[in-house]
Structure 1
Amino acid sequence: MPIKVRLTVMNFVQFFIWGAWLISLGGYMGSQLNFSGLQIGSVYSTMGIASVCMPGLLGIVADRWVNAERVFAVAHFIAAGALIAATKVADFQTFYILMLINSLFYMPTLALSNSVCYNVLTRKGFDVVKAFPPIRVWGTVGFIVAMWIVDLLGWTKSTGQLYLAAGAGLFLGCYAFTVPPSPPFLGETREKSLASSLGLDAFVLFKEKNTALFFIFSLLLGAALQITNAFGGPFLDDFKATYPDSFGVQHPNLLLSISQISETFFILLIPFFLTRFGIRKVILFSIFAWVLRFGLFGLGNPDDRLYLLVLSMIIYGMAFDFFNISGSLYVEKVAEPKIRSSAQGLFMIMTNGFGAIIGGYGSGWVVDHFTSTMGIRDWPSIWFTFSGYALVLAVLFLLVFRDRRIETASASIPS
């Protein structure tokens, strides 16, 4: 089998695992385990906890001592085992611990998967910039396919989603041993300090006002990333009393998957927007897109206002992609060459680490605040609160963030 096809399969399954439960687990926890909003949010925050340190730690192991594909395989085995164990428990504390273990070992595989692909493609003589994107896009396809399978098999409110993810994880762990080896790098990699490997040396960027402001906004906006992942399912499930036969209630994952489909579309638009408007304005467009994303959820329903929910899903592509890619480009421009890798790691820690932790617990608190003693959730108030939060961020960003290094410069992306 050609090496590109083999790496495509690896990327497909890598994100298939995540797509099997990420969007629908909130619905399962709410309807079957009767977890509160704060408990659901805290389970999703485990991914943020894992993102703070584990990618760096397992990356060090892969860089210095053990082949990357072997670290990748073992991590998937452990993560899959935790998912299988989670299907057997119903109490929050045990479930939380098992999902934390899963996150601690699954989240690092996102970076390790890229590392293995880069290593193998380079060793085989491919141009990574041109060869990797067509391979990586199949990861998004895998995520969507998993969501559709879970929905069509009726597993959005059952442990079937966890078994599916675990089975795919065990398969990928075995499959990883069949890809060409990615041995540790000698020399400079072994000499790097622990702080450098974890991206801590990039904290020097906080000395500059605008860069510090950017990372603070990254953290605050990162809090928005997991909100609809955690509560999109429970939101649609609560319409089963009023619109039991509606498409959104019957097929929540199919509806929510439009968000992921939208991502692939907006990725193609990023070069045009960056060239025409520059990094700062594209980031601002992203924040305002989050305002609309949440606001349309507050106005919509899965029946006569289904079009508003669909529009919200489409806008998600702009909200998610525009910030992540333009933010990454901003970091690339302002960081000195010797700390650029660490700076990118810090950007991920702020958004997917600390931001996700704050978002998980904060969104859970908001959901519980607008839940009556009878367990009825006031979803419009919940979504409008999130929308208001994003609007405040947008206004503050517009007023306080001005960096001359990117104010007039346009960005380009290699084709």
Structure 2
Amino acid sequence: MKVNTKLQLSLMMFLEFFIWGGWFVTLGTFLGHNLKASGAETAMAYSTQSWGAIIAPFIIGLIADRFFNAERILGVLHLIGALLMYQMYAAIDFAGFYPYVLGYMILYMPTLALVNSIAFSQMKNPAKEFSFVRVFGTIGWIVAGLIISYVFLWDSEVSRQEGLLKNTFLMVAIASAILGVFSFFLPKTPPKVGKDEKVSVSSILGLDALKLLRDRNFFVFFISSILICIPLAFYYQNANPFLSEIGMDNPTGIMTIGQGSEVLFLLLLPFFFKRFGFKRTLIAGMLAWTVRYLLFAYGNADDKAFMLIIGIALHGICYDFFFVSGQIYTDSKAGAKYKSAAQGLITLATYGVGMLIGFWVAGEITDSYLVREGEHSWVDIWSFPAIFALGVMALFTLFFKNVQVEYKSN
């Protein structure tokens, strides 16, 4: 791959995840402070990610893969997204905000598959070349958080009180417009499927891989993947509002420790696979969720702030050891015929169904432990996902028989 192409793809990934990390992390805090949204309303806003994940395959399968170049669709989606993001910036109440965040996520979620498609199409050896390009996405997410906390201080207590957190949407709108224009200069990625070629809804959604559920181990893993998304939703929805509410300085910047941890443990994953095996690696990932939430429950922003830092740093184990390991396991079980379908099915089940349920549960639990306006009983809130994750781990441990899974690093 040419150096110029590699730089283009790296910048594309940087902007793609800078955009996501630039508003999604602080969304809960913004909704609570600026729009006075309830936990249920915050859950509705976060659930737009799930609706986007459910609808995305149709946009990719029925449009991107059949009629238009991927880079052009990426450009159009981000330009429209910039307009919607500006409307979110200008919203004054939740009723006016929600339609725009729903529309935005329906357009944004397909772009995650599009950037991968564009990148892979330019690579002669994706197994060796993709990691370098993809890591710039994680860097983009981290940079967005550092800018919010340490450059503009939008998540500081004073700025939150003044409503300045809404500026994250303006920043992202600008970044989205830049990526929208830049996309038209990316390497050409023509449609993969002929216009007249028939594509079934079941293949688009990955339902062809449902046959894999006949395997008891895969069925247990599949159900566990959906259930573990409930604790995951608590982190996405509540972590930033929690840190802000208890008085943690620069909460968004501090949360980027989680992304750094994600990169580190992704590199360590082959060692754990080889040393402990697949089942124990997944169990470690689920146990980390329980430990993380207990640290959140009993930590504070003063003498026990180290507990919160450790909880955030566990993100690499929580995410990589379960979800990345799960993707590898799914690939090994699917075989050549169902590889794409199986990954699509897992994505639909987790980011679609699992997270949709998770955000709803997180919203209900958060509202039920509202002590007074702007104050929650966080010990009770974080105890629920801690116990739930422990229960999922116990079920997985009991019913999943250990298997040998070969790790193939990207």
Q: Shorter-chain TM-score category?
A: over 0.9
Q: 2-side partners of 1:288 and 1:66: how far apart? A: 44
Match of 1:25 among 27, 32, 51: 27
Aligned residue runs from structure 1 range 252-271, under 5 A: 252-271=251-270
Q: One-letter code of the match for 1:90?
A: I
The sequence identity of aligned pairs, in percent, is 35
Equivalent residue number for residue 336 of structure 2: 337
Structure-2 separation of matches of 1:205 and 1:188: 30
Q: Secondary structure at the match of 1:257?
A: helix
Report SS of the residue matched to 1:190. coil
1:36 matched residue in structure 2: 38
Distance 1:335 1:238, change over 3 A: same
State the SS of the aligned residue for 2:48: helix
Kept in 1: contact 2:67–2:195 (CA 8 A): no
- Report the equivalent of 1:104: 106
Distance 1:31 1:186, change over 3 A: closer
| Mapped partners of 1:188, 1:291: distance in 2 | 48
Q: Using a 3 Å threshold, how does the CA distance of structure 1 residues 29 and 401 change in structure 2: closer, same or farther?
A: same
How much has 1:218 moved relative to structure 2? 0.8
- Out of 115, 119, 122, the position equivalent to 1:120 is 122
Corresponding residue number in structure 2 for 1:243: none
Q: Using the TM superposition, name which of 207-216 and 171-180 deviates more.
A: 207-216
Q: Please, what TM-score do these two structures have when normalized by structure 2?
A: 0.93
SS in 1 for 2:203: helix
Q: Residues 278 and 411 of structure 1 are in contact (CA less than 8 Å); yes or no, is this contact kept in structure 2? A: no
Taking the aligned partners of 1:46 and 1:284, their CA distance within structure 2 comes to: 29
1:306 aligns with 2:291: no
What is the rounded CA distance, in whole Å, between the counterparts of 1:23 and 1:187 in structure 2? 39
> Shift of the alpha carbon at 1:339?
1.4
Give the deviation of 1:155 after TM superposition: 2.2
Q: In structure 1, the residue corresponding to 2:14 is in which secondary structure?
A: helix
Which residue pairs with 1:177 in the alignment? Answer: 184
- 5+ residue gaps, structure 2, are none
The whole-number CA distance in structure 2 between the counterparts of 1:196 and 1:408 is 28
SS in 1 for 2:314: helix
Of the candidates 132, 140, 151, which is equivalent to residue 130 of structure 2? 132
After TM superposition, give the deviation of residue 201 of structure 1 in Å.
1.4
Greater Cα offset, 274-283 or 287-296:
274-283
What is the number of equivalent residue pairs in this alignment? 399
Whole-Å separation in 2 of the counterparts to 1:239 and 1:330 = 39
Deviation at 1:351, TM superposition (A): 1.2
CA contact (8 A) 1:58 1:71 kept: no
CA distance in 2, matches of 1:176, 1:374: 44
Deviation at 1:230, TM superposition (A): 1.5
Aligned AA for 2:369? F
Q: 1:413 is matched with which residue? A: 408
1:207 aligns with 2:214: yes
Offset, 1:47: 0.1
1:234 corresponds to:
241
Aligned-CA RMSD value: 1.7
Change (3 A) 1:189 1:19: farther
Q: Mind listing any 5+ residue stretches in structure 1 that lack a counterpart? A: 241-247
Residue 139 of structure 2 is matched in structure 1 by 141
One-letter code aligned to 1:12: F
Which digits, 9 at most, give the CA deviation of each residue in 1:266-290, with x for residues without a partner? 0011000111222111111110010
Decide whether the 8 Å contact of 1:68 with 1:183 is kept in 2: yes
Question: Contact 1:292/1:312 (CA < 8 Å) preserved in 2?
Answer: yes
User: Secondary structure of the residue that 1:372 maps to in structure 2?
Assistant: strand
The answer (yes or no) to whether the contact 1:23–1:233 under 8 Å persists in 2 is yes
Shift of 1:188: 10
